[in-house]
Structures are given as C-alpha cells and as structure tokens.
Structure 1
Amino acid sequence: MLMWTPQMDEFFLQAMLTQQYHGNRIDGTFTSTAYTNMVNELHEKLNMNFSKSHLKNRLKTLKDHFAQYYDLFRGVGLSGFAWNSETKLFEADNEVWDSLIEVSKPDAIKWKTKKIHNYNELAELFAKDRAIGAAAGTAKEKKKQWSKTTSDQTETLEDVDRLLSTNKVTLENLIVDDDVFISSMPSLEEVQMNLNSSKNKKRKYEEDESMTLKIMSSLEAVGDAIKEGNAILKDSNIIMERSRQRVYSGDEIYNELELLNLEPNIISKAYLLLIKDQDSAQALFGCPARI
C-alpha cells in the first residue's frame, strides 16, 4: 500500500493543476492522457513508481477530505469565519466557534486546530464541484422523492411559492439535474424572502411602467395645449394686424397730394393737416379709417 506524504500530495496537486490548465480535465474528470502525464511527472520528480489507480484513489481521498471542511464552512463564506493561509486554519471568534460546535456541527471542533495544507490548490481543483454542494446527497436520490410528490416543473419563483404554500414540494426535495451534488438547502425564511423580493421587484416595475405612461400622456396633453394656444395666438395676431390703423408716412402723403395737381401753398397746408390727422390721410388715399 502506497503511503502518501505531504510532499507527495503537493506534487500531485500541482500535476493535477497543470493537466487542468492544459484542458485534460473534462467535466471534472481527468482524461487518460492526464493520468499518463501525471504518472510520468510524479515519477520524474519523486523518483517513485506510481500507477493510475494510485492517483485515482488519492484524488478521491483528497476530494473527500476537502468536501468535509469546504461544505462545513461553505467555502469561506460562513459568517464569522475566515481562512488564514499562514496558520492554515479556519479562524473565528470563540463565540462563533461555540455556536457552530454546540448548536449545529459538534464534529466541527476538530477543524479548530487541524491544519489544512494546500487549501488554495484544493479549492481551485474541487471548489467548482462543490458549488452546488454534496452534503445533502446525490441528485438521483432526490429525484426519486421528487417524482413521488409532483411531476410539474418549477421554472419561476411564483411556481415555487405556490408549491411550498400547498405542501406539494418541500425544500428537501427541490432538486437539480442528474449527477450533480446538492448542498444544504436554504431555510424557508430565506426562500420566502427571495420570493417576496421578486414580487416586490415585479410590482415596482409595474408601478414604474404605469407612472411612465401617465407622464407620457400628460406630456402629450401639454403638447396639444401648446399647439392649440399657438394657433389661437396666430389667429389673434392676424385679427389684430387687420384691425390696426394704417399709418401713412410723410413722403407717402406728400406724393399723393402732388398727384392731385394742387397749388403748392395748398399742398403744404394739406400736408400739415394730414400728417396730424391719420383719419383724414386714410380718406385721402381712398381707404376707410379701419380695415
């Protein structure tokens, strides 16, 4: 039986990352080419003979160990906890640890002092596989429960809300596709908050749309009123223009008087009179005082 040391694990993880970067890992599974390359690389660096089964078994062990603390601390997203790359520990205040250990996860106490080597490399390799979890079992198992409760597909938050309210489906049997692992499901309060948020957003969108239509309608009404006002103002200007008294200039009056062949002294007297009296000037030109 091959005994793995921390140094061997470190070289193996680097070899896996190299093959992953080169595209020799498809849908989370290393190809035969990847295993051949890793066997050769480890043999060269460690001067040891490895087989494909050695690597596959160690990969499974590393992945299982990673799943234990990754799911427990939700990556590094569990409130109050942080990963310290120097101490290689998950760290938190004592009361946070006490709450986790005493209330929900008694077995978590070992991770308070147990160092985790190569966490970053392990996370890069396996975190994506844990993105939707593993602690709750495989999707195939959950699908059996789902088929017993409902054949309907829930594609919207409204559908989920309806099924939850009628107890046709529970959070435990809300599942995903085959061969995908499911993490611990959110609480009913969290789901309800998400549903309410979705409904509030929809209601807000409808209110905003309604307000936009009202504003547009009001703007159209204002535009029509402005057009109508401009038309009225234009008609009023025409009427005022037509009703305005024609004012003749001195040159116009004098030229008109000359056309009458009057004596110069009479032209002068008439000119002075007509300049002061536009009504008489209108009469001279043969026009009424007002048009």
Structure 2
Amino acid sequence: MPKGKTTPSDSNHPGRDSLQWNDEMDQMLLNALGEEANKGNRHDGAWTTQAYNNMVEALRSTIGPNITKNHIKNRMKTLKNHFAEAYDLFHSLSGFSWNSITRKFDAEDDVWEELIKGKPHAARWRKMQIKHYDILTELFATDRAKGNVAKTAKERRKQWEKENIDLNNYFEDTEMYVPNVGMFDENQFSPPNFEDASPQNGQTNPSGLNTSRGTKRKRNVVELVEDQYERMNESIMTIAEALKEGNSVSKELHQVAERQVEVAERQVAVIEKQVEIAEKQVTVIQQTRPRHYSESDVWDLLEELRVTDPFRMKVYNHLCDNEHKKRKLFGVPPHMRGEALIQMMTDAGIFC
C-alpha cells in the first residue's frame, strides 16, 4: 500500500455506496471541494460533472481506488447537514466563536445560559465538536445565506413530513410550498414525501397493522425520485457546459475572422500604395522619354497657328525634314509657338 494513502473502512460490507469516513478523509474531501470551487467548477451552488470527475480521480489516488461519485455526494450531504445546524444557530450570534483547537464554539458562561434559555436544543453544542467549520463556512455559508433555497433535499423532506395534508379538505387550508427551481443545485432539489400525500393521512388504518414496511418502501421511492432529479440536474449542467464551450469556440472563430479582415485591409492598403507608386513611375517615364511628333502633328499645328497657304507647305517640309527643329517648336508653350515659328522660319530664310 502506498505511503500516505488513507484506507477507507468498509467493515461488514454495508453496500457499494456506503463508506466509513474518518477525519483525515474528510479533510481530503474538503480540500478537493475547495480546489474545484477555485477552478470555477461550481455554478449557483451546484457542482459540475467535471468537478465530480476531478474529485473522484483525486480521492482515488489519496483514499483508495474504490471511491465513487456517490460516496462523495453522500458524505458531502452529511457534512452540509451538520454544518447547517451549527451555522444557522451561531452565525448571527455575538459572543460566540469557533475554536480551531477544541473544534467547539466558545462563549462566556452567561452567554451560553442566555442562549440555552431561549433555545434549549443548543445545550448539546456546548460539548459537541464540529470539525473543519472554517472550511465548511467558506464552501457552504453562501448557500445557507440564501434561506430556504439553500436547504438540502433531506432538510426539505423533513419540512414536508411535518406538514399535515388532508386530502379531504380540497387543499383549501393547505399551505403550498413553491420552490424556486431555477436556484436549486443538484444536492438541494427534492420532491415532497409521497407518504404524506397518501390516503392514510385522510383515513385511519382500520386493521391497526404495522405500516413500517410500507413507509420504508415509500421512502425508497422518494430517494429514487431525488436521484432522478439529481441526474437530470447533472445533464442540464453538462448541456450548459457544452453551450459555454460552444460559445467560447464561436468567440475564438469570430476573433480569427476579425484578424483575417485586418490582414486583408492591410494587404489592400499595401496594394493601393504600390499602384500609386507605379502610376508616379509611369508619369516620370512619360515625362523623361522623348516624344515623337508625326507629320500629322506638324500639319495640325500649322493649321492651329493659321499659317497661310503660300508658306504652309514650305514650313511643313522644313519641319518634317528637321527633327530637332520640330521637337524644339513643340517644346515651346502653346501660346508662344506662333512667335517661335516666325523666328525659326525667318532664320531659315523662309519668311523674308
């Protein structure tokens, strides 16, 4: 057996969901619960399926390989019930404090006597221990602060068992308890006790026979229904986790698409810049490259300058035969080309 592993006691083999817990095992369970709470595997007081899987794996490595989810749930219910009684009694009282050494609530004698005078059932807490109260407070105090919603299934069943429902009064005087289903966790949802809703509350047992066997059978039915509700709640939590994971994937895809759009926009900007540079380069090339002027360009220019017929042909032939003078004339601004042509032709002896 590995060193440090706690061996669960299963003497007399009471059943596969039964386990005798000790103080060390409780500490390991509470540590696992705290770790899962810190991971965010608890929503509105309900532990997720992933939380239970993680706890089973952790406790199997420290307590023993036979630990199951039901062991954890049953022990957690027991710890919560014990804590709930102490918390509901002491958390709002002044003068009391939990002693981590003695694991009891400490107070002055007169404070105890005043409490016991108003609540006689509190007397037993003067000597009774409650272990790990500090850790239990961190884990479950918020649930208790929610009032009736924080009640466990066992507590709520006890409440219903105290209610006397008479099926012959047409429910006119019956106070109906309507729970807020949306705020229940998987350890809190419980249907009413079928025994109280049975006809035996409306009429007596004529034979006077012992009905303990029937009562036990009805309680087993209640426990079965509770288990079904817990399974349904776990399925809902699984679906919620899947939806949450799907939303996360959708968000990641949306972020990827946004990054792709940003990259595409940057690429478009680069292409536009390259086009702008290319257009400037074409302009520079066009400006620096010598232009070729055709004979028709020369003739159109002479008509534009209204050179008369006796001289038009001579000027045309002179410019077409002299490429340098032709480019020189076209290089002059349009409004000065007439004056430049007269000077050029006068120098050539065409205009006298």
TM-score under structure 2 normalisation?
A: 0.38
